[in-house]
Structure 1
Amino acid sequence: MKMKPSIALFAASALLAGVAGAQEKAAEAPAADQPKQEKEITVSPEQMKKDLGYFLGFQSGQQLGSIPTLTFDDLDQESFLQGIKDGMVRKPAKDQEQLKPALDAFQKQIDERISAKAKANLEASRKFMEENGKKKASPQRSPASSTRL
């Protein structure tokens, strides 16, 4: 499994959200013969910057959350932020070949975590089946007896 950080995907999400918003505004636009009333923007530049940062951070977090077993502690925050900055100006400080050993090691770590979780789940399943297999079965109604005409 190849993992490449993709800031472009995050930017595309923001762009699509903007396009969707523009389409909604166009649909709500008054007829040509009515005077156009623009909605006043009441957010300060500082608040806009904070909210945009949160939005993009949240989108990034959701994307990263889809990587199995990844936790925030797996990332060096300074390197993560630098990667975002470098990605935004499209000037990587490291090429893919330099990053490959770390990505391969992390993939191995993810695989080990998933394997450990699967083993724990299998053991819990076996234990459940062993304990509940000894219990007397409750009477089952046939599907035909529960059908009403």
Structure 2
Amino acid sequence: MRCSAIRRSLPLTEVEHLVTHPSVAAKRHFVSLHHPDAQSFAGMPPANIGVYGPGIATFAETAACIEQLDAVVAVDSGVANLSAMLGKTTIVPLNLASEWRWGVEGDTSPWMANLKPLRQTLMGDWRSVIDEAVVFLS
């Protein structure tokens, strides 16, 4: 696994904090977009998150699922790009040394109006990023 892939991954505890936060859980229900083979590897919070019923095996099926959602929260990945390009509100938690394509500063994207980058200010500090996502989704 590339080092950059490790840095952009959210710890499961942070995902759980986001999806079960009372102010978010009262308004939002989350759907996992993981491929079935990756689901057990990635882990899943015990509450307020479901699996897309037909299952997702292809990128086209990922797009079909995204089309049915109100918004997407995804790390720096193909899913985040796909969601933003489909016009969905897309929240992207970014590590301190994130990919330049998301822009290098600020809370907007220079290329995608519906993209909300949430940036670490301290390497490895995902809690502050997730707290921003909580405020945005509440």
TM-score normalised over the length of structure 1: 0.22
Structure with the larger helix share: 1
Bigger-Rg structure (1/2): 1
TM-score normalised over the length of structure 2: 0.24
Structure with the larger strand share: 2
